[in-house]
Structure 1
């Protein structure tokens, strides 16, 4: 019997029993990274706003790149923003407000700098797009491609058309506030802001601002240069001392920069099969770290993947 056991042990060493390895479950990031080139959409340079802040204390450059909202959303304000950038209006202004878990805001802290000619007032009605104005948008297809999304107290439904969008029972559509969203600062209604004062969300998604302030874009690169700034100690996070403000060297549309200096980005099409898998993985994390899939996701927890073309 002893010899039989030794023989069996030797055989087990010579011919190990191997269990079938489970197929690795990809993470959302891995799904996006594996998406074919045909699933990615290039962002036009004319739709990128490039903000260069003064270098940090170590002399390192600080560049923030903003993708402007596509039509039909917020086009009145975006037209003003294009004129402000063409006039170099923001050069020499500053980031003058940083409120914890809320926003970083920039513009003319003195409120005395003359605005360029040609800016137009935009009505409050343009915070949303009507059913007629959204006629070209295929809501059914977009909703089919979106991930399972939890009930939303701020909209009757949600979808992703390259951007997170809320939808009302009357068919109106509006872009929503998520982390990195860029909006237009304003005074009390009926003022809607010119676009000269802008802010970026650096905290939990302030969805209560939806349909109350114009959403004009999203930060797609360099959000860390805004979110890591010292918090302002004044009311609403405004800096009380002008020495605390972060100077803005320039803000330009990317297509006005030398070709070699133009940033290039692309985003994952929200109508692609790759995005459908990515969104499902965001809503139901099955990769090894997670124990309990959530079974749904807030729309702001399904950020549209954006990547630098140069980094490919």
Structure 2
């Protein structure tokens, strides 16, 4: 079975989006070519892909989706509070037919790199924030550093074997708490933007001690996966997502960090976990 193996002083020159520098557009529409419609027995799920961060993984995944590669495959490793993982049977001809991918888990940045900052010095990174709707972490030392996508709930990533460059087609969706310890050693290449309740309804494949093992015939199957551009127009689900570069989003971050509402009679510290900032979506069709 393929298994999942398993920063900060803010420099004056580091650019991050502020309320005065952000754009005024609150929403952005997803590209049809970079949106996947996943149909499960429970309902439909929309996934935004991230070619700007993981181009090779997105390219291969998109081609497999176009081929109908995933149709009928099952979520065979689903652990409550962790991930739901799917793909063809290990060692099958279908499994072995897919090229191996090199890791795309992080990338170099410099002091011109920009994103919307959320937090300094969380447990896993020097700094966290958002870019293009995706949760980001980064480390910058002087003018050089690196950035990576974080394992927040709902992200789509590629499973692999023990060797770093061993991913091919098996993917997983984070369905529980953020397993940030997987950051930088797995390639994240998308995120669920609609229908997460259907992902959460995927049959768990593990059982507690004393229960019968879950029969593989009960595992949840993928009914169909398509790029949204290939879905007939009448059946498309058109989504807009919150623009994390907008002034409105920056203002929402500040309000969420301050927690000034009357409900918080005992106010928590002004800490904001990047994985506790849901990016809003809305249907426009």
TM-score band (shorter)?
A: 0.7 to 0.9
Q: Which runs of 5+ in 1 are unaligned?
A: 1-35, 57-61
Q: Does residue 258 of structure 1 match 2:237? A: no
Correspondence 1:203-282 to 2 at 5 A: 203-233=176-206, 240-282=214-256
Does the aligned pair in 1 maintain the 2:36–2:228 contact within 8 Å? Answer: yes
Root mean square deviation of aligned Cα? 2.4
Per-residue CA distance 1:109-158 (angstroms, 9 max, x = gap):
454152596x543323x2111237xx8x642xx3xx434x2522322212
Q: Does residue 160 of structure 1 match 2:130? A: yes
Shift of 1:53: 1.4
Q: Which residue of 1 aligns with 2:102?
A: 123
> Secondary structure in 1 aligned to 2:124?
coil
Does the aligned pair in 2 maintain the 1:42–1:267 contact within 8 Å? Answer: yes
Q: Which residue of 1 aligns with 2:19?
A: none
Moved segments of 4+, more than 6 Å: none
The structure with the largest alpha-carbon Rg is: 1
Shift of 1:207: 0.4
> Secondary structure in 2 aligned to 1:188?
coil
Q: Does residue 309 of structure 1 match 2:284? A: yes
| C-alpha separation in 1, matches of 2:46 and 2:96 | 23
Per-residue CA distance 1:170-194 (angstroms, 9 max, x = gap):
4211111101011101111134311
> Secondary structure in 1 aligned to 2:202?
coil
- The equivalent position to 1:79 in structure 2, one of 56, 59, 66, is 59
Q: Does residue 102 of structure 1 match 2:82? A: yes
> Secondary structure in 2 aligned to 1:183?
strand
> Secondary structure in 1 aligned to 2:255?
helix
Call closer, same or farther: CA 1:91–1:111 in 2, change over 3 Å: farther
Call closer, same or farther: CA 1:113–1:249 in 2, change over 3 Å: farther
Call closer, same or farther: CA 1:113–1:224 in 2, change over 3 Å: farther
Deviates more, 1:279-288 or 1:212-221: 279-288
Greater helix share, 1 or 2? 1
Shift of 1:293: 4.5
Call closer, same or farther: CA 1:81–1:189 in 2, change over 3 Å: same
Q: Which runs of 5+ in 2 are unaligned?
A: 1-22
| C-alpha separation in 2, matches of 1:93 and 1:110 | 11
Does the aligned pair in 2 maintain the 1:92–1:248 contact within 8 Å? Answer: yes
Call closer, same or farther: CA 1:192–1:176 in 2, change over 3 Å: farther
Q: Which residue of 1 aligns with 2:73?
A: 93
Q: Which residue of 1 aligns with 2:161?
A: 187
**Between Structure 1 and Structure 2, how many residues are aligned?**
254
Shift of 1:240: 4.8
Shift of 1:280: 1.2
Shift of 1:288: 3.2
| C-alpha separation in 2, matches of 1:303 and 1:108 | 31
